[in-house]
């Protein structure tokens, strides 16, 4: 799961910015942070909580499934010709506001195997990958907190507290997370400018972005092609973690700027995510692809 796709989930969830915080903490972890997190691990508390998580996760609507239901309704004539377009459009918007692409298991895999990939080793060529017990415990603490925020009100309050408590206790002993993209190399300045602008949105700014998202977006094929080019550049330049940090910071800035789930579903996340992705690989991306991704942002705010 790419970081822009994960961000699309998080800007539409009530506590998505908290999930982003936990994942940023995971990406910032080193040996000291693992020691602090592992010391808060609570195996007994989490075992019972995860039984409830499994039930809640099973009821979380997935975008693909619900869109399939909408399409089937149209194909079987459930909507009259007069209202079909409006009903389908309303249905798609509701789906995009209330359903997700990822799930609890995907978040667990993301933390344990992608973010914490550096904690695994293979002592023998072709042998199983291994890691220390503390690394696994620290990853569990982070994954539990991420799932607690991701599922949000779908979990009982006491279950959310059990899952999040070890992380919150550990966070007191860890350095605060930066609001700016520190350590992102040559792309840091461009990403920082976008995030700063996003955090400082006022009512007029939000209205401009909404208008651009509704009327000034590139064609779907053009935008998808530019995002593909940026994602490929991220991969080839080994900036996957850099891009993840930038996208997660953008999730937090999106919320700080007063944008909400409806804005995310209506296309504003595509605008924000696209310009952030373009800035992460500004030195590598073709001028044509970069122009496509920056165009909506510049239409709203002018060129940087």
What digits encode the pLDDT tens for the residues 179-209?
Answer: 666 655 556 788 999 999 999 999 999 999 9
Whether 17 maps to a domain, the answer reads no
Whether 127 maps to a domain, the answer reads yes
Pair 56, 76 in one domain: no
Confidence at residue 168, expressed as pLDDT on a 0 to 100 scale: 97
Domain boundary among 98, 116, 146: 98
Pair 163, 75 in one domain: no
Confidence at residue 214, expressed as pLDDT on a 0 to 100 scale: 84
Confidence at residue 85, expressed as pLDDT on a 0 to 100 scale: 46
Confidence at residue 75, expressed as pLDDT on a 0 to 100 scale: 47
Whether 1 maps to a domain, the answer reads no
CB 2 within 8 A of CB 106: no
Pair 161, 222 in one domain: no
Pair 162, 197 in one domain: no
N-terminal to C-terminal alpha carbon distance within the chain: 30
Q: What angle do CA 208, 211, 216 make, to 5 degrees?
A: 110
Pair 107, 165 in one domain: yes
Q: Count the domains in the chain.
A: 3
pTM of the entire structure?
0.86
Whether 179 maps to a domain, the answer reads no
Pair 67, 148 in one domain: no
Confidence at residue 63, expressed as pLDDT on a 0 to 100 scale: 58
Pair 85, 212 in one domain: no
Whether 16 maps to a domain, the answer reads no
Kindly give, in sequence order, each residue whose CB lies less than 8 Å from that of residue 19, ignoring residues fewer than 6 positions away. 10, 13, 107, 146, 149, 150
Pair 145, 131 in one domain: yes
Q: Which domain holds residue 215?
A: 185-301
Domain boundary among 98, 122, 150: 98
Pair 94, 104 in one domain: no
Q: Which residues of the chain are modeled with pLDDT < 50?
A: 66-68, 70-71, 73-76, 79-88
Whether 141 maps to a domain, the answer reads yes
Pair 43, 157 in one domain: yes
Pair 104, 84 in one domain: no
Pair 90, 205 in one domain: no
Distance of alpha carbon 60 from alpha carbon 42, whole angstroms: 26
Report in angstroms the alpha-carbon separations of 29 from 25, 33, 63, 139, 290: 6, 5, 32, 10, 32
Domain boundary among 143, 171, 199: 171
Confidence at residue 135, expressed as pLDDT on a 0 to 100 scale: 97
């Amino acid at each position: 799961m790419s970081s822009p796709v994960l961000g699309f989930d998080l800007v539409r969830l009530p506590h998505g910015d908290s999930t982003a915080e936990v994942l940023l903490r995971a990406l910032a972890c080193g040996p000291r942070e693992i020691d602090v997190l592992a010391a808060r691990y609570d195996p007994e508390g989490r075992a019972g909580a995860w039984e409830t998580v499994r039930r809640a996760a099973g009821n979380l609507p997935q975008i693909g499934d619900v869109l399939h239901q909408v399409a089937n309704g149209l194909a079987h004539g459930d909507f009259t010709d007069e209202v079909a377009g409006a009903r389908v459009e309303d249905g798609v918007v509701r789906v995009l506001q209330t359903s997700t692409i990822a799930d609890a298991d995907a978040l667990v895999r993301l933390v344990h195997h992608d973010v914490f990939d550096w904690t695994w080793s293979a002592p023998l060529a072709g042998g199983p990958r291994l890691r220390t017990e503390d690394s696994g415990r620290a990853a569990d603490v982070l994954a539990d907190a991420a799932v607690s925020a991701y599922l949000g009100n779908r979990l009982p309050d006491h279950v959310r507290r059990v899952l999040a408590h070890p992380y919150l206790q550990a966070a007191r002993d860890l350095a605060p997370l930066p609001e700016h993209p520190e350590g992102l190399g040559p792309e840091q300045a461009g990403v920082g400018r976008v995030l700063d602008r996003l955090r400082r949105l006022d009512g007029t700014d939000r209205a401009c972005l909404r208008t651009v998202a509704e009327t000034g977006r590139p064609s779907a094929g053009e935008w998808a092609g530019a995002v593909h080019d940026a994602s490929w550049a991220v991969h080839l330049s080994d900036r996957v973690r850099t891009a993840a940090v930038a996208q997660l910071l953008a999730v937090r800035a999106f919320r700080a700027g007063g944008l909400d789930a409806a804005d995310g579903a209506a296309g504003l996340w595509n605008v924000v995510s696209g310009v952030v992705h373009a800035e992460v690989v500004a030195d590598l991306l073709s001028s044509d692809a970069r122009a496509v991704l920056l165009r909506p942002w510049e239409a709203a705010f002018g060129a940087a």
